[in-house]
């Protein structure tokens, strides 16, 4: 029972390089989310996908793009990485139609941009 | 606007002492609140949700609408409770019901 799987776990990029962070869930959840975690800032929402085929901006979307490839997968792309994007990125999913729903988080991707 | 405030960045207590991690929120509707815990360099795990009124690992949290608070409490702290704790508020449909997190409180339990 994998839950939410993120790849890669670690990545170092040079300024200006691009990369895609992958996220997949096997719980048949409708909603998926990307957060970044920075010291002293908590978790901030980058983008979300309320259902397959839809994506919307969160609190800090600049410099990122997302794709909801299907119900299982939600990827986050950095087109031109900047040092300010050094962070830990977490993907999460939830079943919002369930009143007792909770979020399930992936194990995170630790990204360093030099 | 919805907001979650955790006033303490760091809380240090001795083993066996009571612990209270504070959380205050602002929300115009009926709030749905959660506590998440993150052990060192691990993923976030759901600790409590206010609608279930459960006790997990000895922790409890009561929603106080009058004081707009959802403080996390444990009567006797253990060393294994040392972790980062986040209070979170469920957003509305305009944010895909995303969780809005506080900045977190780092709990350190010393022997």
**Cβ contact, residue pair A45, B100, below 8 Å:** yes
Contacts B97 to A, Cβ<8 Å: 31, 50, 94, 96
B22 Cα to chain A: minimum distance (Å): 15
Question: What is the rounded CA–CA span in Å between residue A105 and residue A3?
Answer: 8
Please indicate if any CB of chain A lies within 8 Å of the CB of B17. no
Of B46, B52, B103, the CB nearest to A40: B103
Asked whether the beta carbons of residue A56 and residue B99 sit closer than 8 angstroms, the reply is no
At B91 the pLDDT is: 87
Does the structure show a pLDDT above 90 at B85? yes
pLDDT at A99: 53
Identify which of A82, A81, A46, A53 has the alpha carbon closest to the alpha carbon of residue A67.
A53
**Local structure of B80: helix, strand or coil:** helix
CB of B21 within 8 Å of a chain A CB? The answer is no
Q: Give the C-alpha separation, B87 to B70, whole Å.
A: 8
Q: Which residues pair with B38 in a beta bridge?
A: B84
B54 shares contact with chain A (CB less than 8 Å): no
State both tokens at A45.
């929402």
Q: What is the pLDDT of residue B55?
A: 76
Q: Is A83 helix (H, G, I), strand (E, B) or coil?
A: helix
Minimal CA–CA distance to B103: which of B1, B3, B29? Answer: B3
B42 touches chain A (CB under 8 A): yes
All residues of chain B having their beta carbon less than 8 Å from the beta carbon of residue A45 are 95, 98-100
Mean per-residue pLDDT for B9-15? Answer: 97
Could you say which residues from 55 to 84 on chain B have a Cβ atom under 8 Å away from some Cβ of chain A? none
Contact A54, A31 (CB under 8 A): no
Residue B1: is its pLDDT beyond 90? no
Residue A23 burial by CB count (10 A; 0-12/13-18/19+): exposed, middle or buried? buried
Tokens 């205050």 map to which residue?
B24
- Long-range CB pairs of B56-65, under 8 A, 24+ apart, other chains included: B57/B81, B59/B35, B61/B23, B61/B33, B61/B35, B63/B31, B63/B33, B65/B31
Chain B residue numbers touching A33 (CB-CB < 8 A): 96, 98-99
Residues 3-62 of A with CB under 8 A from B: 31, 33, 35, 40-45, 48-50, 56, 58
Local confidence pLDDT in tens for the 114 residues of chain A: 679 999 999 999 999 999 999 999 999 999 999 999 998 899 999 999 998 989 999 999 999 999 998 999 999 999 999 999 999 999 999 987 665 567 899 999 999 999
């Amino acid at each position: 029972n994998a839950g939410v799987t993120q790849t890669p776990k670690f990545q170092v990029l040079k300024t200006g390089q691009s990369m895609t962070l992958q996220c997949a869930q096997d719980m048949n959840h409708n909603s998926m989310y990307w957060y970044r975690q920075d010291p002293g800032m908590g978790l901030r929402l980058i983008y979300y996908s309320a259902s397959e085929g839809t994506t919307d901006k969160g609190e800090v979307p600049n410099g990122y793009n997302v794709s909801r490839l299907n119900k299982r997968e939600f990827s986050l792309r950095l087109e031109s990485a900047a040092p300010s994007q050094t962070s830990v990125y977490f993907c999460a999913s939830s079943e919002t139609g369930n009143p007792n729903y909770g979020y399930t988080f992936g194990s995170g991707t630790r990204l360093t941009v030099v | 606007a919805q907001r979650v405030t955790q006033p303490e960045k760091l809380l240090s207590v001795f083993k066996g002492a009571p612990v209270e991690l504070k959380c205050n929120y602002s929300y115009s509707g009926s709030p749905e609140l959660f506590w998440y815990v993150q052990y060192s360099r691990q993923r976030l795990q759901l600790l409590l949700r206010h609608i279930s009124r459960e006790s997990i690992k000895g922790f409890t949290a009561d929603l106080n609408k009058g004081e707009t608070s959802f403080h996390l409490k444990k009567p006797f702290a253990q060393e294994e409770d040392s972790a980062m704790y986040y209070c979170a508020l469920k957003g509305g449909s305009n944010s895909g019901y995303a969780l809005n997190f506080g900045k977190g409180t780092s709990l350190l339990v010393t022997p």
